[in-house]
Amino acid sequence: MGEQNKEDDIDPGMDKQDEEDDIDRLKFMLEQQKFALEQDKWRADLELRRRELALKEEEARRHRGFLGRLNPISVGLFTATLALIGNLITVSMQNSAKLEADRRYCQMLWTDRPDQAASFLPSLRFLRC
């Protein structure tokens, strides 16, 4: 068992033209496989880009609607405005109640009749002087 010749690997029935045809056939098959692989790569890339575009369109559609405008800053401003309005209403109601109580107290102090002054007392029970 010595060294083998290159010629031993080659089928003795094959001539030079058959070998070249086999090589050409193998090259052609290799090129077809490369082309198919490249096509698959481009198809996958195209599908990925389509999905990305669909996601961007969906995001843009969401931002165009009313709820898309509700970012944290606008929600905070809206909440602060409601709180301010609520505080203004509360203060005005308290002021009007206090003015009414002061008016009744003054009426009670300036009246000459004790029975009329006593009639003001139930409405002044919440005052803490």
Return the sign of the alpha-carbon dihedral for residues 25, 28, 33, 34. Answer: positive
Sequence letter at residue 99: L
Q: What is the pLDDT of residue 1?
A: 44
CA distance 19 to 21: 5
**What's the pTM value of the predicted model, to 2 decimals?**
0.41
CA atoms within 13 A on the CB side of 53: 6
> What pLDDT tens digit does each residue of the chain (129 aa) get?
445 554 445 555 568 888 888 899 999 999 999 999 999 999 999 999 999 999 999 888 877 776 667 788 888 999 999 999 999 999 999 999 888 888 877 777 777 777 776 776 666 665 554
